[in-house]
A and B are shown apart, each in its own frame.
Chain A
């Protein structure tokens, strides 16, 4: 069986890639993609933990269904929220794009003192 740490390593790698991407890229669309990547890295660790939970691994059916399924449900929840967030965020990007010639994040500094 593949150990938990392998899944977590992939998750960490994805998360860091997303983080670095969000820091170094200037395009808001790419930054959104990076955010998605980070969210999915977290989702991966959720499902991994859910699969490797002791009572799941040992097949202990005395636990309730919610305890069996918590990780997966949270992942679904995160995906739903992320979808909503993207809808809002892309809308904002579109409206900025209507007013500004370029949607470079660094150039959007009108509120800076």
Chain B
């Protein structure tokens, strides 16, 4: 670790880097409307947009400065800094300071977040320029960048959790940005609720680590009893955890598996892995830049970041690692298959994101953590590019998202088309583009994995490797399908497809596209408080002014230059990024040194044996073959325009495609089982507990007092003569009592 003496400025630079986006969010939130009022909508928005971009860009500039002065001047393995700012929680046994941890892993993530983030901010200034709530959008977007920076830069698990929840909140707010549409609000809720499941796993993982540190700290390896007081109170910080965990986990391997799996559940939620992926496709309800930034490039990769950060735990548990890679492989195949049934361009990209995240987890599961990060980076480039490109297409096509209504856009949107093609090539893994390098690295890592990873007698790593090859075929097939349907040859009877939309079909499809408001689509049955209906008129009227629908005479227009610039930059990164990061194993060396404390690898990980040499030698040809197969399939099927089997009439669809369109019924079964099942369960609980037990007790007391009342009521009957009689009786009793000497 290099001395911090010469780098006093780093301390303030890091906190400034984190605070910049928050300042931006604060400005947008407090003065956004005011600026629009003072300067007028057009120039006010210009100022707000540039400010939003500037704040994030400043963070990016500071990150570049740090890289230039620290990471390029010193070997990466000594570049680990800890900056303490102030105490957040200060108890006798637990101290949680606000600490930042700067190491190759976190600076990589910071560069990614602020870099791609500022590009997408730039893009959004144009994309959102017509939206009524411009400053609210940038408030959320800036706040997201800030929380993401907290997540990756924090030095302890609690602060990481703050960032983790913060990005979840921003994701929720941005998915439901057009909250007046009930569907969007529901999608936002779904994302938030599904993420809670993952967050519970992460919390339990953090609790288990805390529990393990405290309960096993009593006796050290030499047999000496150590009282917990000696434990540094900062024991949730990474430097303490990484210092203590190796010795503890060696003696308690089961705990390693448990903690690793719990942390993985957290990662599954955020990074949309198999059972918990259901929120991500629905999250496309948000504005397209949000899909690009949060639900493709940055936030969803925080699960990979968590695995990278805590990889020590996973390396102590081959079982957990095997499960991670298997779940990743299942997700990759599953989502890739579903993508074939989607007609919404953003849904295809969403499922491809889920699938690519599966790739990253495959890499982490077979022990190649840096490869996971490598794919995070390249994926961020090309997936942001693809999403922003699809945003440009949607923008040009009057908010139409159905690919069946695209076609021949190459002629109208040349820049977008070329950029999207580069993105498609990159994600499919065409050699020398960025996706190729990272995908190769993943497959390579899987086939040469040094993990024993025998789960139930199956050689998991090799299996995962072949799954990866299979998914590569699928990926290139569905991505070229998307590209050809959108930009490819369109002519059916000599006209573009959107010119042939049946007139009666014209109205009801809008409401599915983003942001459009059509009152007849709404289902207000859940709207008890009349919230949506009340606002509907103003919003609907507002939208109908600017909303231009697709029709015969529609001419798609290329997007503004500020959006094109972003597309071009991302396209360049998608071409050269992978090569640049991979040359001389730059990223591998950079990231492999990222853990703060070195430890002896446990022996269980060394003595494994895979006979994959043959595969490894021909891996390059295998993956090129895979890409070619997928590409040729797509070219053969889609080069003549929209096939009849995938047309507007869904009765002609093949059974597989219909099944894939519904996401293999997974989502609906989940809602049926957990939604309706939960409802029935609660109903049962309501009947047994509330109705019977609790109400019974309350009613019993009521009945009891009423019975007592009934009994005493007899004496209070309002009959005055009865009172007199009772009074006389009582007097008689008293007299007799006195006469018998009772008072003495």
Interface residues of A (CB under 8 A from B): 19, 22-26, 105-106, 109, 111-113
Residues 717 to 744 of chain B near chain A (Cβ within 8 Å): 717-721, 724-725, 728
Contact A19 B728 (CB under 8 A): yes
Can you spell out 22 A-B residue pairs with CB atoms less than 8 angstroms apart? A19-B724, A19-B728, A22-B721, A22-B724, A23-B721, A23-B724, A23-B725, A23-B728, A24-B721, A25-B721, A26-B721, A105-B720, A105-B721, A106-B719, A106-B720, A106-B721, A109-B718, A109-B719, A111-B718, A112-B717, A112-B718, A113-B718
Minimum C-beta distance from B290 to chain A (A): 66
CA distance A25 to B724 in the complex (A): 12
Minimum C-beta distance from A43 to chain B (A): 19
- Count B-side interface residues using an 8 Å CB cutoff: 8
Minimum C-beta distance from A51 to chain B (A): 24
**Residue in A closest to B725 when the chains form the complex, CB atoms:** A23
**Residue in B closest to A106 when the chains form the complex, CB atoms:** B719
CA distance A70 to B584 in the complex (A): 132
Once A and B bind, how many residue pairs between them come within 8 Å at the CB atom? 22
Give per-residue flags for B700-727: 1 if the beta carbon is below 8 A from chain A beta carbons, else 0: 0000000000000000011111001100
CA distance A106 to B721 in the complex (A): 8
Minimum C-beta distance from B741 to chain A (A): 21
Minimum C-beta distance from A66 to chain B (A): 28
Minimum C-beta distance from B236 to chain A (A): 65
Minimum C-beta distance from A27 to chain B (A): 11
CA distance A38 to B725 in the complex (A): 14
Which B residues are in CB contact (< 8 Å) with A25? 721
**Residue in A closest to B718 when the chains form the complex, CB atoms:** A112
Give per-residue flags for B424-446: 1 if the beta carbon is below 8 A from chain A beta carbons, else 0: 00000000000000000000000
CA distance A112 to B718 in the complex (A): 6
Minimum C-beta distance from B542 to chain A (A): 62
CA distance A25 to B721 in the complex (A): 8
Which A residues are in CB contact (< 8 Å) with B719? 106, 109
Which A residues are in CB contact (< 8 Å) with B724? 19, 22-23
Which B residues are in CB contact (< 8 Å) with A22? 721, 724
Which B residues are in CB contact (< 8 Å) with A23? 721, 724-725, 728
CA distance A105 to B410 in the complex (A): 104
Minimum C-beta distance from A74 to chain B (A): 20
CA distance A111 to B723 in the complex (A): 15
Which B residues are in CB contact (< 8 Å) with A113? 718
Which B residues are in CB contact (< 8 Å) with A109? 718-719
Which B residues are in CB contact (< 8 Å) with A112? 717-718
CA distance A105 to B719 in the complex (A): 8
CA distance A22 to B724 in the complex (A): 8
Minimum C-beta distance from A12 to chain B (A): 12
Give per-residue flags for B323-334: 1 if the beta carbon is below 8 A from chain A beta carbons, else 0: 000000000000
Which B residues are in CB contact (< 8 Å) with A24? 721
Minimum C-beta distance from A41 to chain B (A): 14
Which A residues are in CB contact (< 8 Å) with B717? 112
Minimum C-beta distance from B727 to chain A (A): 10
Nearest 10 interchain pairs by C-beta: A112-B718, A109-B718, A23-B725, A23-B721, A105-B720, A23-B724, A22-B724, A19-B728, A106-B719, A105-B721
Minimum C-beta distance from A71 to chain B (A): 21
Minimum C-beta distance from A107 to chain B (A): 11
CA distance A113 to B717 in the complex (A): 9
Minimum C-beta distance from A31 to chain B (A): 8
Which A residues are in CB contact (< 8 Å) with B718? 109, 111-113
Give per-residue flags for B43-80: 1 if the beta carbon is below 8 A from chain A beta carbons, else 0: 00000000000000000000000000000000000000
